[in-house]
Amino acid sequence: MGIISDLCAEVALPRMIRVRQLFDPEHIPAGGIPQAVAAQLSRPELGDPVKPGKRYAITCGSRGVANIALITKAIADFVKARGAFPFVVPAMGSHGGANAEGQRALIAAYGVTEEFLGCPVLSSMETVEIGTSEKGPGGRVYGVRIDRNAAEADGIIVAGRIKPHTDFHGPYESGIMKMMAIGLGKREGADICHQNGFGSMAEMVPLFGRTIIKHAPVILGFGILENAYGRTCKFAALRADEIEAAEPALLEEARRHLPLILFERTDVLVVDRIGKDISGDGMDPNVTGASSCSPWVTGGIKANRTAVLDLTEETHGTALGIGAAHTITRRLFNKIDYEATYVNAVTSRGIDFVRIPCILENDREAVQLALRTCIGRDPARPRIIRIADSLHTETIYISEAMAEEAKANERLRLLGESEDWPFDKDGNLW
């Protein structure tokens, strides 16, 4: 890599300024989570769907949902308080390496364990067909499958975060309908739902969701919303017959809470880390604008080049999303678990998400090569934005050329003077 290192060394990186982005701070404090969950589930209009002596499955997904262990335990406690028997089902399609132990390990990393919950966690990849859908794309009908343990329960409480999806847009994106169609579907069900590609997912998700509501013992949906700081801000408990009508409005509410980057464009976007715990795509294109799935996803900042520096520990080597980057580091490349990464890409038909970008020896060179290859940039005033990840954008860094623009935006606050990049002796950020 000698010549590449030489070419990178010719690129002077601008000094950067730390900036705070201001979003709506309203949220539910962690200490109030159990009471807030119980209050939603106890609303009189929900009736009394939990019966003494019955077994109830509670879904838990693979994303880094704030307070997920507390929320899941509170739902389980609600079920137990009514004399029933809860258990938790990892509901995450093909994530966790598409195996039972991998999915159990994923939610355990979030604190969702039998010891904490006080109830069993039943992790299995075995599914059963619970019915066939109405006619979908191409006039076809589909066999709809869900987790066997959930299907054999007396009732299912479908809990999941509602937010804009990374790869398609429609009335139902990430949320309760998708948790049923993809999460409860495990690898087999998710594979069937994805078979027409992301261009059809806005139709397939509600098609499968309606089938599951009709044929499986779903008793409640429990929607979780987060604010732009990644904090829990709202719960919405819904009867099974309310989910289809109520979820689109909750999705639009969630869309207003996206942790957007409050600039229109940049030459280079530097993302410190990506991972499945951050976003289904590793980094959310609704925020970063970097997607391998266009034209079904638009939005986010317009970045000429995107440099990604590392993977989160919680993603366990799954590197879905690197295909949307232009440069990555050798450190990131060496962490990739190809089996886990590819099974997720194959199931979703998203093999573009796992294409390997240019691999650079360290953070500095990854940023320098991204900047060097930008088209149409002003060499004297390069625009660079650095974020920790697409879920945490409260504090970001911008290059000096963007300072006046930031000062003119009432939702931005400069937090100090410009400073050099904090590279260590090996060219990595610390």
Q: What are the phi and psi torsion angles at 102 (to 5°)?
A: -65, -40
- 225-254 pLDDT, tens per residue? 999 999 999 999 999 999 999 999 999 999
Which burial class, exposed, middle or buried, applies to 196 when counting CB atoms under 10 A from its CB (0-12, 13-18, 19+)?
middle
Is position 64 within any domain?
Answer: yes
Q: Reply yes or no on whether the pLDDT at 103 is more than 60.
A: yes
Position 42 in a domain:
yes
The per-residue pLDDT for 298 is: 63
Among 140, 216, 153, CA closest to 181: 216
| Inside any domain, residue 113 | yes
Whether residue 13 lies inside any domain: the answer is yes
**Same domain membership, residue 194 and residue 269:** no
Q: Is the pLDDT of residue 62 over 80?
A: no
Task: Examine the domain organization and report whether 251 and 263 are in the same domain.
Answer: no
- Alpha helices in 138-295, H assignment, sequence order: 148-151, 176-178, 186-193, 201-215, 243-255, 285-288
Token digits for 297?
Answer: 């996803």
Mean pLDDT across 170-180: 94
Pair (247, 155) in one structural domain: yes
Cite the DSSP H helix spans in 100-235: 100-109, 114-117, 148-151, 176-178, 186-193, 201-215
CA distance 334 to 326: 17
* Residue 409 sits in the same domain as residue 336: yes
Question: What percentage of the chain carries pLDDT values higher than 70?
Answer: 98
Distance CA 75, CA 364 (A): 46
CATH number of residue 227's parent domain:
3.40.50.11440
- Residue 101 φ then ψ, to 5°: -70, -35
More confident residue, 99 or 298: 99
Structure tokens at 414: 């400069």
Of 255, 273, 293, at which residue does a domain stop?
255
Are 17 and 34 in the same domain? Answer: no
Residue 262 Cα distances to 3, 25, 410, 413, angstroms: 36, 16, 10, 11
Based on the number of CB atoms within 10 Å of its own CB, is 419 exposed (0-12), middle (13-18) or buried (19 or more)? exposed
Phi-psi region of 194 (alpha: psi -120 to 50; beta: other; left: phi over 0): alpha
Contact 73, 164 (CB under 8 A): no
Within this chain, do residues 240 and 226 fall inside the same structural domain, yes or no? yes
Examine the fold and report which residue of 255, 287, 312 is the final residue of a domain before the chain moves on: 255
Tell me which H or E stretch contains 390. none
If asked whether residues 286 and 198 sit together in one domain, one would say: no
275 and 183 share one domain: no
Q: Is the separation of the CB atoms in 317 and 341 below 8 Å?
A: yes
Q: Which domain holds residue 182?
A: 30-255
In this structure, are 180 and 54 located in the same domain? Answer: yes
Assigned domain for 209 exists: yes
Q: How many domains, in total, are found in the chain? A: 2
CB 140 within 8 A of CB 196: no
> Does the residue 353 lie in any domain?
yes
Same domain, 345 and 363: yes
- Judge whether 67 lies within some domain: yes
Is residue 1 predicted with pLDDT exceeding 70? no
Asked if residue 224 and residue 80 are part of one domain, the reply reads yes
> pLDDT tens, 188-227?
888 888 888 888 888 999 999 999 999 999 999 999 999 9
197, 268: one domain: no
On the 0-12 / 13-18 / 19+ scale of CB atoms within 10 A, 302 is exposed
| pLDDT (0 to 100) of residue 59 | 97
Quick check: is 212 in a domain? yes
Q: Rounded distance, CA 347 to CA 339, Å? A: 12
When mean pLDDT is compared across 59-63, 220-224, 400-404, 426-430, the lowest value belongs to 59-63
Average pLDDT, the chain: 93
Boundary of a domain, candidates 240, 255, 270: 255
